[in-house]
Amino acid sequence: MLAPQLGSHLTDEEFRRSALMKILELWGERQASQIAELIGGFLANPDNPSRQIHRPDEVNIDQMIQAGEKLVRDWHV
């Protein structure tokens, strides 16, 4: 099962974190927890003006995608 069952006793935040942890379990518990926390922070505060996506003059999306893809390809456990 990829995510917790809908209608369970979990709050929205608990459900989201549980689902992220399940999806990220291949990274190991510690790293999955860190990634889930980071993603959860982005989801909880999408309009934060300090995020790079809200500063298009300072950010090159293509460079960000390339950097993110390189990070994933170079990931070592």
pLDDT tops 60 at residue 4:
no
Per-residue model confidence (pLDDT) at position 9: 81
User: Alpha helix locations (H) across the chain?
Assistant: 12-23, 29-44, 61-73
pLDDT in tens, 19-65: 888 888 888 888 888 888 888 888 888 788 877 777 777 778 888 89
Token pair for 63: 């460079």
On the 0-12 / 13-18 / 19+ scale of CB atoms within 10 A, 25 is exposed
